[in-house]
Each structure stands twice: as C-alpha cells, then as structure tokens.
A and B are shown apart, each in its own frame.
Chain A
Amino acid sequence: MTTLRILLGILVLVVFALINTVVVMWCERKWAGHMQSRLGPMRTGWHGLMQPFADALKMLGKETFVPDAADKILFAIAPVLAYTPAIFVYCATPWVANFAGYSLDVGIFMVFAIAALFPVSIVIAGWSSRNKYSLLGAFRAVAQQISYEVPMILSVLGVIMLASSMRLSTIVESQAHVWNLVTQPFAFLLFFIGMLAELNRTPFDLAEAESELVGGYMTEYSGMQFAMFFLTEYANMFTWSLFAAMLFLGGWNGPGPALLGFVYLLIKTYAVVFMVIWVRWALPRLRVDQLMAFSWKVLIPAAILNAFLTALGILANVWVLIALQLAMVAGFVWLISLIGVRAGSAVRGDAPEVSS
C-alpha cells in the first residue's frame, strides 16, 4: 500500500511538473511575443497553447544523432542527469500547508543540494560532445552556477533567521501576516539575480549564449536528448520561481479556505516566472569575466552584509530591519549605476560630438 502511494505520488508530481513546464514554455513564447509587438504562437491550439506539445512531440520523432567523436555513454547520460534533479526537487516541496511528499526539516537545504547537481550534467554534456563550443559553454556554465549558488544561499539566510527554521512549510507559515518581500526586499533582489544565473537566463545566459557559442553545451544534441535539456531549463524555471514564491511571496498564504492556498501559490509562482521572462527580453548579456566579477565582488559581499544586517535588525525591531533593507537596496542600485557610468576607463563624453 505504501509503495503504491509512493508510486502514485511520484506519478502525480511528475505529471504536475511536466504540465507546468509546458505552460511555462508557452508563457515564455507568448509573453515574449507581446513584449516585442508580435503575437507569439497563435495557430496550434487556442492562442498556441498546444505549441510546446507539438514541439516536444516533434523532437521525440526526430533522429537522435550521436557525433562520431563523442563519448557515447556520457553523451547519453547527460540529458537524463539534467532532467532528474529538476523533478527530484519536488519530493521535499510542500504544496499547501503540510501537503508535501516528504516534509523535511532541512527542506531548503535539500533544494539547494539537489539543484547543485545540474552543473554536473552540463559539464558531462559539454565534455562528451567533443565540440569546442559545447566545451566552452560547459566551462562557463559550471563556473557561473557555482559562483551564483553562493550569494543565493547566503541571501536565504535572512529568511531562515526570520522563520527560525529550514523547514519550507515553517518558512511559508511564518509569512502569514507579512511577506518576506516586505521585510527582506534586498534578499529577494539577490535571490532573484542568483536565480537568473542558475537558470542560465539573460543577462546571465552565457552557457547557451546563442550569438557567441551557437548553442553552448547542447550544441551537439538533437531529438529527444535535446528536448530533455530544453524541458529541464523550463522545469528549473518553474521550480525556482516556486521557491521564490514560497520564500519571499508568502507561498500559499492568503484569504479564504486552505485549498485556495494552492491557487495562490501558483499565481505567485507565475508572477515570478513573468519577471524572469520580462528581464530576459529587455536586457543584453554580460561578458564572462564581468559575470564572475559581479558574483564575487558584488553579490557575495552584499549577501554577507545582508545576513549580518538582518541579524541586527531582528535584534532591534522590524522597522529597523526594513529600513536597513531599503538602505541596502538603494546602495545596490547606486552601485550598479556607478558601474555603468564608469564602464570603460577613459573619461569621456557620452553622446557623439557633431561637426559640420
């Protein structure tokens, strides 16, 4: 009986994850379209709702191509290894109140631990493809993901302090009255930036960097193997948005019966998904050294400062906490603007001078 329940649970979770992945894919293409004065998918199902299914099915039917020079076994393992953690993460995720596969008291710790597996699959994919673009993409991805995990975890420290727990459901319940977004806006900013990097999304999409590395680590993948990477990307996007919603946007908290909480959670998740997509279509991409410098020189010190000041704020009172956070946000904005203005070494004018 227990086995059956577990199997059923797994099935439900996998299907749920897949459906959401597909919906996120649709959102991306549709919203991106509208942001660019286009329409996006229109003809496959209602407003292109079936488009991701058509894409996935088509890729399923395509020839799976293994390059001659590739390391065949590793080449085949990598996509599976990429997709597994994206699903695996849900086993410790609470959906409504205590409705969770397994409510772990170090839930948040486990989420990060599983997410850390993703770069492994990327490096395997990049290495086994025997393609220079893939390899460069893999190098970039690994460096980036490891660097950005650090500020991300550090930024969550404040949240953990506020909830006094690492259990996800406790963290969500601690936000019953005030969302962490209000008390921890700076931590949310850091988490969001780290999230973009973890997801390989613009401005941190260096691992794929279409205009530089063709397709990055998945250049050589075709057919279903490529589809797995493609799905992983969007599954991760949903996962991280879900955690952002839980850690900072109050999760399932909201008025009405408890069951509505699930709807609230989804709405909040898709709000974060929207932000991720929005950023992607508005910004250019960083360069690889700037990316690393940004993490190690800006984000990590800022995250440590955030943890320290949050601790101070908790010792004082909530108003001090919010004031400190807002000051940090302001400081961060100022710092970024400064970097932009000082870009390039020479002292110089901005607009071209005109001669006639």
Chain B
Amino acid sequence: MAVDPVIVDEESKILVAPLQFLMNWARGHSMWPLTFGTACCAIEMMTVGSARYDTERYGIFFRNSPRQADCMIIAGTINLKIAPRVKLLYEQMSLPKYVIAMGSCAVSGGPFADGYNVVQGVDQIIPVDIYVPGCPPRPEALMNALLMVMERNSAGELSAAEVFAAEHRALGVSE
C-alpha cells in the first residue's frame, strides 16, 4: 500500500527510526484480537484459538475488552441493529487498530445482502484492513489474514485506520 504523503514527516521519521524498528517488530509479533463474533464465522474464529490451529504460536491472543485489543475481527453479519455497536467498539479500541472483515457477510453482506436489515459490508462503517472471503472462511484463512496484518506491521505499513485518519486530515475534516 502506498504511504500517504500527509503522514510521512521526514524529520520525525529520522528521530524515531530505531524505535520505530523495535515497535514494528513488536507489532509484528503480538496481536490481540477482540472477542467479538456475531454469527457463524465466530465459531470458526473460536476454532482459530483451539488446539489444532493454535494462533498463540504467533502471539495472537484473544482479549475481551476493546481497550486492550489491537484488532477487531468482524466475524459475521452486521445488521442495522448492531451497526452502531460495531462502530462504538471500534472507537473504543486504542490506536493502532486493525480490522479484519471475516467472511462474505462482513465483506459484502454475502448471502443476506439483498435483505432489508443487513449492512452490505462492514467497510461502510469502519475502515477495513484485510478482507477474508469464505462462508465461513476456514480457520486457516483467518490465520492467514492475521499473519498478513502482522507482516504488514513488521514492514511498517500503515493500518487502514491511519490511512483513513490521514485522508480526513488531508481533506481538512476535523475528527
């Protein structure tokens, strides 16, 4: 992903470069997703932590409080009733934060997209980092997505939240 020009501040970058390296390493090796599953995908999300897949090998470790979580896995359908809650939870998470849209429902509304009550993709509410197709995606696919986020962190790439904030700043929208 191209780094947004608004964010790159050459001066501060030089100052924090060595620290930034350490930080990227830490973020690339520790990722605490929030236990928030709405639907079918939540079962596969639980499976990811189970003995067969054991995400803890990579330092992925589920936390219950949004304040302490780094990453929100939208595991399931988002409807009009839960949408404000999803947004609230996202806002409660502290930066840096990442969002994984797991499964067709979170990506686009999936099989329920025609319905009168289903949000067509969680990216309409919050910025999404990784999309995971599947209905539900295999646990391996979700693990792959989590590892992708961590790899991107190691490489120091910006999260969707940061890009979103930068775009808003560039547009002069105060948040």
Contacts and interface: CB of A to CB of B under 8 A. Distances in A.
Contacts of B92: 65
Contact of A41 (B23, B25, B59): B59
A29 B56 contact: yes
Given A54-B29, A61-B23, A61-B27, A39 B94 contact: no
B27, B30, B54, B94: residue with the most chain A Cβ atoms closer than 10 Å? B30
Given A50-B29, A62-B94, A43 B59 contact: yes
Given A61-B23, A65-B94, A51 B67 contact: no
Contacts of A43: 29, 57-59
Contacts, number: 94
Contacts of A54: 25-26, 29-30, 59
A290 interface: no
Nearest to A214: B64
B54 to A, nearest CB: 4
A285 interface: no
A261 interface: no
A36 interface: yes
Interface in B59-82: 59, 61, 63-65, 67-68, 70
Interface in A38-63: 38-44, 48, 50-51, 53-58, 60-63
B59 A55 contact: yes
Contact of B56 (A41, A56, A218, A223): A41
Interface residues of B, number: 24
Interface string A272-284: 0000000000000
A215 B61 CA distance: 14
Contacts of B51: 36-38
Contact of B94 (A56, A57, A63): A63
A144 B68 CA distance: 25
A40 B57 contact: yes
Interface in A5-44: 29, 33, 36-44
A56 B92 CA distance: 20
B88 interface: no
B54 A219 contact: no
A62, A65, A218: residue with the most chain B Cβ atoms closer than 10 Å? A62
Interface in B94-137: 94-96
A263 to B, nearest CB: 30
B29 A226 contact: no
Contacts of A38: 51, 54, 56
A192 to B, nearest CB: 27
A222 B68 contact: yes
19 contacts: A39-B57, A40-B56, A42-B57, A42-B58, A43-B59, A48-B57, A54-B29, A55-B59, A57-B23, A58-B23, A63-B94, A63-B95, A215-B64, A220-B67, A221-B67, A222-B67, A222-B68, A222-B94, A226-B68
Interface in B139-155: none
Contacts of A105: none
Grouping DSSP codes into helix (H, G, I), strand (E, B) and loop, the A interface class, with mixed when no group exceeds half, is: loop
The 8 tightest CB contacts between A and B, nearest first, are A57-B26, A222-B67, A54-B29, A63-B94, A42-B57, A215-B65, A63-B95, A58-B26
A62 B96 contact: yes
Nearest to A44: B29
B27 A65 contact: no
Contacts of B43: none
A19 B68 CA distance: 23
A57 B22 contact: yes
B68 A64 contact: no
Nearest to B64: A214
A29, A33, A54: residue with the most chain B Cβ atoms closer than 10 Å? A54
Contacts of B23: 57-58, 61
Nearest to B67: A222
A232 to B, nearest CB: 15
A34 to B, nearest CB: 10
Given A36-B51, A41-B59, 19 more contacts: A29-B56, A33-B54, A38-B54, A40-B54, A40-B57, A42-B57, A43-B29, A43-B59, A44-B59, A54-B29, A58-B23, A61-B27, A62-B94, A62-B95, A64-B94, A215-B64, A219-B67, A226-B67, A226-B68
Given A38-B51, A220-B67, A61 B26 contact: yes
Interface in B7-27: 22-23, 25-27
